[in-house]
Amino acid sequence: MTPSTRSSEALERLVERTRRVATRLAASAVGPAGGRLRPTSVGGLLVVLASVAVSLAAAPALGDSVRIRWSIGTYYGPEYAPTPLALAAFPAIIAVIHVGFGATRVGLEHTGAFEATDDLVRSVYELCALVTLLMLVIVQVVFVAANLL
């Protein structure tokens, strides 16, 4: 067996495993009421956990305080905050928004808003929830990167 044959077999195994994982994820995301991985359910919790992971990973790299405002000229208040407070705020805010999206989803289900147009309204709502949660994590990453520079 040549080295190129071994590497192509390894690549084929990797592709097959990736396909199986993607198939399982797709199967768990479909179903009545949008599946388990929707952003207002377990999928949103994964985004919250990603935010926690970013905070935990960034904590050792940042100092005792982080810059929270970049202003030139006029002073508008504090420009620094304690690092633990700033890093804990992001997952807390994302978790509260995730709970809010879930509560709104339950309220919309009780009013029958999701039954109106063949799951189109639910899909749009879930997409907006996912984009909002992911944008907050992106803001967190930019915040950490800006303080590291």
Q: How much of the chain, in percent, has pLDDT values that exceed 90?
A: 22
Tell me the per-residue pLDDT of 66-94, one tens digit each, with 9 for 90 and over: 887 766 667 676 678 888 998 999 999 99
Question: Is 122 or 78 the better-scoring residue by pLDDT?
Answer: 122
pLDDT at 137: 93
Scan for tokens 């970013």, then name that residue.
Answer: 54
Spatial CB neighbours of 104, under 8 Å, sequence gap ≥ 6: 40, 125
Q: How far apart are CA 109 and CA 104, in angstroms?
A: 9
Map out the domains of the chain as residue ranges: 1-30, 33-148
- Average pLDDT of the chain is 79
Whether residue 12 is predicted with pLDDT greater than 60 in this model: the reply is yes
Q: How far apart are CA 53 and CA 128, in angstroms?
A: 23
Whether residue 145 is predicted with pLDDT greater than 70 in this model: the reply is yes
pLDDT at 105: 85
